[in-house]
Amino acid sequence: MGQGRKGSSDKKQRQKNRDDSPAPENGNKCRVCRFPLLVALLQLLLGVAVTAMAFLMLAISPSLMARETPHWAGIILCLVSIVGFFLYCITYQPDERSSTQFIVKLLYFILCTTGLVISLLVVAFAGHHHAQASSFICQQEGDDCVCVLDQSDPIARTFDYKGVSDCETITGTLVFYFLLQILLNLAQALVCAAGAFIMWKDRYQVFFAGTQIRSPSTQQWQKV
């Protein structure tokens, strides 16, 4: 009789502890609420736009260098977005109980941070070349366009753009493309920063690492 009452009391106590413990998130909840699909979509669209713009710039003249045509930055952002889509598709487990989920989230955070740094570098390069190209004084020499910054300086650096039949392409179209690269990569940097922040917030709950402990005296769950 006493043992039956004790067992019933233990069951009630365990049930009470479960009721008092923080409820886990519903695994069937819409994953869009857990991971903003919009971030991955924006990364993909911006990555494609940056890559396409870089190849358009390269079509103007093959003399343009890799830092002037940052197709590599767009390709990297496309890869980051693919990881984001994969993270969206995998089954969500509360508190990162799945090792796959943890690894993908960590990888996505690292890639977003890397994409942020790369995008800022591209913005710096594009800004420099935009200011430089805006001051060019160009003249046509056969099938090439030769540009300088200061005609009065005999030792000024010469920029030779091969395969350009009209120098207006350099002083007009190319300058405009540099401006678009600045805007696209700046937006790309903001999206990467948002993705990294979301991963950080999801892991640490707004920069606060909360843990749950059970007080032996009160048999209650407490948030610290």
Q: Residue 218: inside a domain, yes or no?
A: no
pLDDT in tens, 85-108: 887 776 555 555 667 777 888 888
Please give the order of strands across the beta sheet that includes 144-148.
137-141, 144-148, 158-161
Write out the DSSP string of 121-175: HHHHHHHHHHHHHHT-EEEEETTEEEEES-TT-TT--EEEETT-S-THIIIIIIH
Percent of the chain with pLDDT over 90: 25
Q: Are strands 220-223 and 212-215 parallel, antiparallel or unpaired?
A: antiparallel
DSSP state of 208: -
In this prediction, residue 92 carries a pLDDT of 54
In this prediction, residue 44 carries a pLDDT of 93
What total number of domains does the chain contain? 1
Q: Residue 23: inside a domain, yes or no?
A: no
pLDDT in tens, 160-217: 888 888 888 888 888 999 999 999 999 999 999 988 888 877 655 543 333 444 445 4
User: What pLDDT band is residue 24 in, cutting at 50, 70 and 90?
Assistant: very low
Stated pTM of the model = 0.69
Q: Are 115 and 77 in contact (CB under 8 A)?
A: yes
Please name which of 29, 14, 73 lies closest in space to residue 48, comparing C-alpha atoms: 73
Q: Residue 63: inside a domain, yes or no?
A: yes
DSSP state of 29: S
Check pLDDT > 70 for residue 82.
yes
Q: Residue 18: inside a domain, yes or no?
A: no
Enclosing H/E stretch for 213: strand 212-215
Range of the domain at 87: 33-205
What does the block give as tokens for 89? 């598709």
User: What pLDDT band is residue 17 in, cutting at 50, 70 and 90?
Assistant: low
